[in-house]
Amino acid sequence: MTDGQETTGRKGGKEGGSGGTGLDFARPLATVDVVIFAVRADALQVLLVQRGAGAGEPFPHAFALPGGFVDIDRDRDLEACAVRKLKEKTGVASPYLEQLGSWGSATRDPRGWSATHAYFALMPAAAADPPLAADAQWFPVHGESVKPRLAFDHGEIVKAAVQRLRNKVEYTSLPAYLLPGEFTLPELQRVYEIVLDRPLEKSAFRTRMLSADLIEPVARMRRGPNRPAQLYRLKKAKAPVYFARTFNPPG
């Protein structure tokens, strides 16, 4: 910050009087947006909301990320704001939530200089299926984006979120957060494959997952029309595991 040293950048210019707060200049709009991922119908999907069309509304009827202005009276910090937005749209209180970055410029919102703090969240499919909010809807990820053209720079943010997710899935246990509390290893592998959009070797996958201090078997099996599969759950530690190597050295 070191704001006190600022000698330029004031807007009103009416800070000649000594003893002023030094804060009488225009501030950007501050928002929080959340890219919410789930694996539904064998595809990676993102939750979007349709914007209203009231007076002065930018991008009427367009789809956008769930989010909104930071409420300095209700939100203690940025993450609390993100959790609030998430809860409003999905009802889910605490999935995996990670900050993605921030996007701010003079032009991204026609109403003026604005900056958004973007988060991305992972949740099990069942958690918000269908979503709580009537204006919310799931869209599959195609390539690195979604079909509808999004409001603001949200297309760019979704793209960054997909890239970050894909990148981290190569060497972390993040996909575990896209599954319910109990899951089998083939189910976990399937989620990896859906997110990465390429098949993985079963044997290497199992070896890696079982040798990481990540999951533990529960005393139940998933039964089907074939050999039952062992059910696992995440170990206590909620923090994701980082592997020393990526899955398929690309190429």
Partner DNA sequence: TGAATAGTGTCTTTCAGACAGTATTGG
Partner DNA sequence: CCAATACTGTCTGAAAGACACTATTCA
- 86 burial type by CB count under 10 A (0-12 exposed, 13-18 middle, 19+ buried): buried
Q: Which of 152, 177, 183, 205 binds a copy of itself (CB under 8 A)?
A: 152
Closest C-alpha among 90, 66, 44 to residue 150:
66
230 binds, among DNA, a copy of itself, none (CB under 5 to 8 A by kind): DNA
Asked if residue 245 binds a copy of itself (CB under 8 A), the reply is: yes
The entry of DNA, a copy of itself, none near residue 103 (CB within 5 to 8 angstroms by kind) is a copy of itself
Q: Is 213 helix (H, G, I), strand (E, B) or coil?
A: coil
Please return the burial class of 30, using the count of CB atoms within 10 Å of its CB with bins 0-12, 13-18 and 19+.
Answer: middle
Total length of the chain: 251
Binding mask 50-89 for a copy of itself (x = CB under 8 A): -xx-xxxxx-----xxxxxxxxxxxxxxx-----------
- Kind and range of the H or E element at 76? none
The conformation of residue 60, written as its DSSP 8-state character, comes to T
Piece in contact with a copy of itself (CB under 8 A), picked from 106-114, 141-149, 184-192, 226-234 = 106-114
- Interacting residue with a copy of itself among 14, 24, 27, 238 (CB under 8 A): 27
Which residue stretch of 107-115, 121-129, 152-160, 240-248 sits at the interface with DNA (rule: CB under 7 A)? 240-248
Is the Cβ–Cβ distance between 104 and 113 less than 8 Å?
Answer: yes
| C-beta separation of 50 from 139 below 8 A | no
Give the nearer residue to DNA in terms of CB position, either 206 or 233. 206
Give the interface segment with a copy of itself, choosing from 112-120, 184-192, 199-207, 219-227 (CB under 8 A).
112-120
Q: How far apart are CA 192 and CA 169, in angstroms?
A: 7
Q: Write out the binding residues for DNA, residues 128-187 only, by CB under 7 A.
A: 184-186
Q: Which of 12, 56, 225, 239 binds DNA (CB under 7 A)?
A: 225
